[in-house]
Amino acid sequence: MANGDLFNKMTLALDTDIKKIERIRAQLLMKDSDQDVGSVLYDLQQSLKSSLDTFQVKEYEIERTLEKWLLLKQDLNLAREVQKTIFPQDNIYLSNFQLAGFTRAASSLGGDYYTYNISNTGVNAAIGDISGKGIANALITIMFDSHYKNLVYQEMSLQDILFSLNQFFRGIVSNYNGLGEKFMTFLAFRFMEKIEYAGAGHEYILVNRADQKMCERIKTGGIALGLMPELMGQFSHGEIELNPGDCLVTYSDGITEARNEQGSLFGLDRLVKQVELHSHLDPERVIQKIVENVDEFQGTHEQYDDITLLIIKHPE
């Protein structure tokens, strides 16, 4: 380990210093020229020895912590592979619609969520973002995924699904220290012809209209899951019609709140511009273009939040 090498180098250096002092002391004592200097050097040697002892005990502790840290990082990478299994494994490209999604966690495990699937009543898709980040959020996404898919399977209305998810989310985060303030923004879609959506405090829905080559920004509204007890009307509800060539883009705020080295935000306008520029492409390519643009913007600035995109396109 590189850390160990550096410590060894320093231990060796201090050890050599102590031996040098030993030699100087012997030299001084033989000549018997300067007893004072000899005794000061003796004290010095003892003091260096004691520093070295402290250092070696500490070194051992640090090495152990660093080893644990390394194991934990490996464990997190393994956990990331497990978490991946909840996300759709493939794009869906059919004649009347195309679906693709993407998520990248800021650290090993993320708290962003997206999904889509086809059942006999239509297509369901969703995107969400749990406040904060980290391992706890990753665990919640997994629980949330199972619960959401069950509700979809039961063919409940979108609003009923959001009511149930709110109750579920409150159930997880209530009564536990440190989890109480967690909430989750969420957007659920269902469609056969028109796209129906229900929102819980999530970001805009962007719809690029092929005929106008312009992007609509639909404010979705609603109150995030977990913030309030179950009340009628706390979630928004709407419909969107996609015509051939139209492309609907949803995202998590990790995209718009990405920062560059100067501290500027990527922002909604930059995202809208990317959507307008690339919506003629396949959803997978649109995602690729947006992510490349965000990465380019961020430069060497570390990705601070999880980033997620979900695209529904009506092919031409």
Tell me which residues touch its own copies (CB under 8 A): 3, 6-7, 9-10, 13-14, 16-17, 20-21, 23-24, 27-28, 31, 33-34, 36-37, 40-41, 43-44, 47-48, 50-51, 54-55, 58, 61-62, 65-66, 68-69, 72, 74-79, 81-86, 109, 134-136, 138-140, 142-143, 146-147, 150, 171-172, 176-179
Shortest Å, Cβ 75 to its own copies: 4
Please name the amino acid found at residue 23: R
Q: What order do you get walking across the sheet with 205-209 strand by strand?
A: 92-93, 98-104, 307-313, 247-251, 205-209, 214-218
User: Smaller CB distance to its own copies: residue 179 or 281?
Assistant: 179
β-partners of residue 208 are 215, 247
Nearer to its own copies, 92 or 179 (CB): 179
- Nearest-approach distance from CB 304 to its own copies, in angstroms: 14
The Cα 86–Cα 101 span in angstroms is 12
Helix (H, G, I), strand (E, B) or coil at 171: helix
Minimal distance in Å, beta carbon 16 to its own copies? 7
- Cβ-in-10-Å burial (0-12, 13-18, 19+) of 271 comes to buried
Q: In Å, how far are 123, 251, 311 from 209, measured between CA atoms? A: 21, 18, 14
- Min dist. Cβ of residue 49 to its own copies (A): 11
Q: How far is the CB of 179 from its own copies (least distance, A)?
A: 6
Q: Which is nearer to its own copies, 62 or 94 (CB)?
A: 62
**Which C-beta is closer to its own copies: that of 63 or that of 216?**
63
Return phi, psi of residue 133, to 5°. Answer: -155, 175
Q: How far apart are CA 241 and CA 193, in angstroms?
A: 8
Closest to 259 in 3D by CA, of 219, 305, 214: 305
Residue 234 to residue 227: CA distance in whole angstroms: 10
In Å, what is the CA distance from 81 to each residue of 104, 113, 295?
Answer: 12, 15, 23
- Closest approach of Cβ 129 to its own copies, in Å? 16
Nearest-approach distance from CB 48 to its own copies, in angstroms: 6
Nearer to its own copies, 14 or 240 (CB): 14
Residue 260 phi, psi dihedral angles, 5° rounding: -95, -175
Specify which residues 3 forms β-bridges with.
none
Amino acid at residue number 57 = V
Nearer to its own copies, 75 or 241 (CB): 75
Q: Minimum distance from CB of 120 to its own copies (Å)?
A: 18
Give 1 or 192: the residue with its C-beta nearer to its own copies: 1
308: helix, strand or coil: strand
140/271 with CB nearer its own copies: 140
